[in-house]
Amino acid sequence: MTNSALPRVVVLTGAGISAESGLKTFRDNNGLWENHRVEDVATPEAFARNPALVYRFYNERRAQLQQAEVKPNAAHKALADLEQQLGDQFLLVTQNVDNLHERAGSERVLHMHGELLSARCCASGQSHVWHDAFDHTTGCRCCIPAETLRPDIVWFGEMPLYMDDIVQALAQADVFIAVGTSGQVYPAANFVAIAAESGARTIEINLEPGQQNHLFDERITGLAGETLPAFVS
């Protein structure tokens, strides 16, 4: 990104922004799923050990995301409106793998932890739209054989996506806002420190103080669906 286009407002979202849309967060259910810690299911080792379990984990979350009642909420819409107002002075980075930001109208969303509705070919690294018939025995009808198909997700121990762009934007930001994240997962948890280091005004919008709350200049506590629209209006 050239300096002139560098965004002045960088927003990081986490699972909490999608909570009011009906999607579970990671730590509300204690990060447990089928008696497995998420950190134990969302890893390359877990996928190598038991691909069917990992597929089930993501198929369940994809099915939940595609339920009719799961829609973007006012917080997603507030960020889409902010992007409309600020144009390339605005950058949205999300840790979430759902598509609610896009469905709310956000046009440029950096999914640093990948996307639930996308598949990846381990051989080429290419991403493809997820077909529901996928699994580790059938692969993808048109593009990815079973043996190289995986969910297009950044697992624990894997490098998140877009890191160069994100760090460059944080280093130039005037404002950094974290919404609905517990600040427990790195490197996203470090973003507030990078932004603060470069003099940005930092704001945490969360239901409760996150693990990095001491690093923020300001904290707004409450439901993102109420606090964020009020904050950006």
Residue 48 in contact with ligand BV8, rule: CB under 6 A = no
Does the active-site annotation cover 113?
yes
Residue 70 in contact with ligand BV8, rule: CB under 6 A = no
Among residues 17, 138, 22, the alpha carbon closest in space to that of 71 is found at 22
- Looking at 158, 162, 193, 197, which residue binds ligand BV8 (CB under 6 A)? 158
Handedness of CA 127, 94, 136, 124 (dihedral sign): positive
Between 6 and 115, CB nearer to ligand BV8: 115
Distance of CA 210 to the CA centre of its chain: 16
Residue 21 in contact with ligand BV8, rule: CB under 6 A = no
Q: Among 82-90, 101-109, 155-163, 196-204, which window interacts with ligand BV8 (CB under 6 A)? A: 155-163
Q: Among 62-70, 81-89, 134-142, 158-166, which window interacts with ligand BV8 (CB under 6 A)? A: 158-166
Residue 160 in contact with ligand BV8, rule: CB under 6 A = yes
Among residues 201, 187, 213, 17, the alpha carbon closest in space to that of 99 is found at 17
Helices in 2-148 by DSSP H: which ranges?
38-41, 44-49, 51-65, 74-86, 100-104
DSSP assignment, residue 224? H
Q: Which of 113, 128, 131, 214 is catalytic?
A: 113
DSSP assignment, residue 72? -
User: Residue 110 in contact with residue 101, Cβ under 8 Å?
Assistant: no
Residue 154 in contact with ligand BV8, rule: CB under 6 A = yes
How near is the Cβ of 188 to ligand BV8 at its closest, in Å? 7
- List the interface residues with ligand BV8, window 87-116 (CB under 6 A): 95-97, 113
User: Residue 128 in contact with residue 121, Cβ under 8 Å?
Assistant: yes
3-state SS assignment for residue 59 = helix
Residue 16 in contact with ligand BV8, rule: CB under 6 A = yes
User: Residue 161 and residue 163: Cα distance in Å, rounded?
Assistant: 6
Question: Binding site residues for NAD(+), as ranges?
Answer: 14-33, 95-98, 180-182, 206-208, 224
Site of interaction with ligand BV8 (CB under 6 A): 14-16, 19-20, 25-27, 39, 42, 95-97, 113, 153-160, 180-182, 184-186, 206-208, 210, 223-224
